Amino acid sequence: MLIELKFQLFLKENKMNMTIIEKIILRHSDKNTVKPGDIVDVIIDARAARDFGGANVVKNLEDNNLQIEDPSKTIFTFDCNPTGSDQKYAVNQHICRLYARENNIKVYDIDKGIGTHIMIEEGYAYPGSTAVSTDSHANILGAVGAFGQGMGDKDIAASWANGKVWFKVPESVKLIIEGNFPENISAKDIVLNLLAKFGANTLLGTSIEIYGNAIDELCLDDRITISSMATEMGAIILIFPPNKEVMRYCEARSGRKIDKIEADNDAKYKEVYNLNAKEFIPRVSRPGKPHDAVDFSVIDKVKIDSAFIGSCTNGRIEDMRLVANVLNNRKVAPGVVLKIVPATDLVWQRCLDEGLIDIFKEAGALVSNAGCAGCAAGQVGQNGKGEITISTGNRNFTGKQGKGEVYLASPENAAASSIAGYITTVDKIPDQAMIFEIPIIKPKKNKKVLNETPEQKPKILKGQAWYIGEDDIDTDMIFHNRYLTITDIQDMGQYTFDNLKGYESFASKAGKGDIVFTAKNFGAGSSRQQAVDCFKSLGIQAIIAESFGAIYERNAINAAFPILICTNIIELKLERKDEVSVNLETGEIKNISRNISLFAEKFSEVQLEIYQQGGLF
């Protein structure tokens, strides 16, 4: 409360030209001012851990003898495996339940739904607030003008114990969408158009603010859809200035009067983009890359085996109503499985009350209880090898939603495709569905377990180079989600890159002390700590990249695993097994084999301190 009063007084006495994210961070700090690049201790209003990562959060707290700073602001949300159908998830959930009972922490159990949505529904997140979760899509809270972040289990444990975490103030960009969208454009189409334009790393590490008359009229459900895919754009967050509807909703859910958060008229932005709403078209993302979003005409009646409607991106009641309108008095194509999963139990109940469940079942759909579903391993929505799925999820990385291929589209077009039997739009549903055969799948054998490599902390590293010149290597490529129940670092190394095409044998060929060099946006995607720890398990000394995914960068720093940003790696002319050295303190990188040297960004003071002490704790 004292910080809030100080903030309000400060705003009255000073004109700061601040963006939304800068105001939120300033409000939750002890600083007099903040600017992009500053590292600030940020007070966190709501702190969540899911069943994925929750057990590791508990382990970090107990291993370091840490107490909960404020149980009233601390929650568990079980949304990754709400069916409780996986034994390892069930064990992890029970660990969290026991810890919650002992520490008076609220548990939103397997019957409640997606944690980030619950944080909005239950009033934990509201305009101007801060929240963290082990969910990499916690930035979905930008839909209500809040600052939400997905973080690894060490970060979350620190926030539970301290009530705050360090954060680097991001640069802000401004998107202005002028005019009105065509009638056939949904919120999912809006964000797929943004992905098609900006890709996965143009706006990397930024806070996006989005404006325009048509944007201001978007309902909360549409805002959630768009904000949920900021992660896929490489952004820290995509923030909507809250309109009257959002303000009324959040005040009702939180039970408090809320001051509207908005940028100053002369706020300073890294870039300002003006877009024409009339140029937006219905899009579908081709497998592997959410930003590879194309006109449906490019996809020539690609057959599907299944369709999935749900996830934190498109599991809201408005999505369910659109789907019901398409499915009403129609049948899902023979040989196609349609899976529908509402985002929360409240949405599920409204579907029941409004008769939508009857429509779904009559059409031949499978309706599951609320949760993340196909976006998380081991439950409704996963597909098999050779299977083709059209999904309303936020990611279609290889292996993310199963072993098959995944296309991304809006709820109504996913429903239309399930009726047609192939990828299409609502206006082109055929009178007769196409029928396809389902391929036979053979299981893949597990790999051998490797031993953990002891951690060392020299300031100058020497080793042999691996150069992997691919942009946007995501965490599913690094450490696939089917291994997420692994908590022992000794077991992780063997799975490193086994989902990255061309590098499936990396773990067996990598040597202790090797140094990996790669391209832009390394570690895009999930908040999983294992995508860092697997390299430590193998004895890899460091990763040098042109840029990193924001959550991955934090996880590596907090784990005392050396990473450096070097935008001109190509100048090193690296080849496999070149001898290289890396000076963490100065940023100097040498290709000793070729007598070439250049400079990367050196360790920051925070990074060096965490590295020298062996980790965040």
Reported confidence tier of residue 375, pLDDT bands at 50, 70, 90: confident
Maximum C-alpha span of the chain:
71
pLDDT in tens, 306-333: 999 999 999 999 999 999 999 999 999 9
Give the Cα separation of 455 and 188 in Å (integer). Answer: 44
What number of other Cβ atoms are within 10 A of residue 7's Cβ? 18
Residue 452, pLDDT above cutoff 50: no
Q: HEC string of 135-154?
A: CCCHHHHHHHCCEEEECCHH
Give the pair of three-digit tokens for residue 503. Answer: 């590098």
The one-letter amino acid code at 498 reads: D
Give the Cα separation of 583 and 36 in Å (integer). Answer: 26
Please give the share of the chain, as a percent, with pLDDT higher than 90. Answer: 84
Give the pair of three-digit tokens for residue 53. Answer: 């990562």
The one-letter amino acid code at 96 reads: C
DSSP calls for 459-515: SEEEEEEEEE--S--BHHHHS-GGGTT---GGGTGGGTTTTSTT-TTHHHH--TT-E
Tell how strand 207-211 and strand 74-77 pair up.
Answer: unpaired
Q: What pLDDT score does 440 carry?
A: 67
- Rg over alpha carbons for the chain, rounded to the nearest Å, is 24
Q: What pLDDT score does 382 carry?
A: 82
Reported confidence tier of residue 448, pLDDT bands at 50, 70, 90: very low
Residue 348, pLDDT above cutoff 50: yes
Residue 5, pLDDT above cutoff 80: no
pLDDT in tens, 253-281: 999 999 999 999 999 999 999 999 999 99
CB 193 within 8 A of CB 280: yes
pLDDT in tens, 520-558: 999 999 899 999 999 999 999 999 999 999 999 999 999
Give the Cα separation of 53 and 558 in Å (integer). Answer: 15
Name all domains of the chain by residue range, CATH numbers in brackets. Answer: 2-278 (3.30.499.10), 298-428 (3.30.499.10), 460-612 (3.20.19.10)
What number of other Cβ atoms are within 10 A of residue 211's Cβ? 17
Least Cα distance to 290 among 474, 529, 552, 134 occurs for 474
- Quick one: average pLDDT of 167-186? 97
Reported confidence tier of residue 447, pLDDT bands at 50, 70, 90: low
Give me the count of residues in the chain: 617
| Residue 75 parent element (H or E) | strand 74-77
Give the pair of three-digit tokens for residue 347. Answer: 């949405």
Please give the share of the chain, as a percent, with pLDDT higher than 70. Answer: 93
Query: What three-state secondary structure class fits 283?
Result: strand
Reported confidence tier of residue 15, pLDDT bands at 50, 70, 90: low
Q: What pLDDT score does 89 carry?
A: 82
The one-letter amino acid code at 301 reads: K
| Cα of 161 vs its chain's centroid, Å | 24
| Residue 580 parent element (H or E) | strand 579-583
Query: What three-state secondary structure class fits 537?
Result: helix
pLDDT in tens, 128-153: 999 999 998 999 999 999 999 999 99
Provide the b/e sequence for 382-397 (b: ≥16 CB within 10 Å).
Answer: bbeeebbbbbbbbbbb
Q: What pLDDT score does 10 carry?
A: 53
Higher-pLDDT residue of 305, 481: 305
Q: What pLDDT score does 484 carry?
A: 84
Strand segments, DSSP code E, in 244-403 are 271-276, 283-285, 293-295, 306-309, 337-340, 366-367, 388-391
Least Cα distance to 516 among 469, 459, 557, 558 occurs for 469
Residue carrying structure tokens 């990367």? 600
pLDDT in tens, 417-444: 999 999 999 999 999 888 755 566 666 6
Least Cα distance to 296 among 193, 210, 211, 367 occurs for 193
Residue 446, pLDDT above cutoff 70: no
* Arithmetic mean of pLDDT over the chain: 92
What number of other Cβ atoms are within 10 A of residue 531's Cβ? 29
* 328 CB-contact burial (10 Å; exposed 0-12 / middle 13-18 / buried 19+): middle
Give the Cα separation of 471 and 189 in Å (integer). Answer: 24
| Cα of 522 vs its chain's centroid, Å | 14
Give the Cα separation of 602 and 584 in Å (integer). Answer: 6
Residue 573, pLDDT above cutoff 80: yes
pTM: 0.84
- Which backbone phi and psi does 239 adopt, to 5 degrees? -105, 130
Which ranges of 345-440 does DSSP label H, i.e. alpha helix?
345-353, 356-363, 411-420
CA distances from 190 to 90, 280, 485 (A): 37, 7, 35
Give the Cα separation of 448 and 459 in Å (integer). Answer: 32
Residue 86, pLDDT above cutoff 80: no
Provide the terminal-to-terminal Cα distance of the chain, rounded to the nearest Å: 28
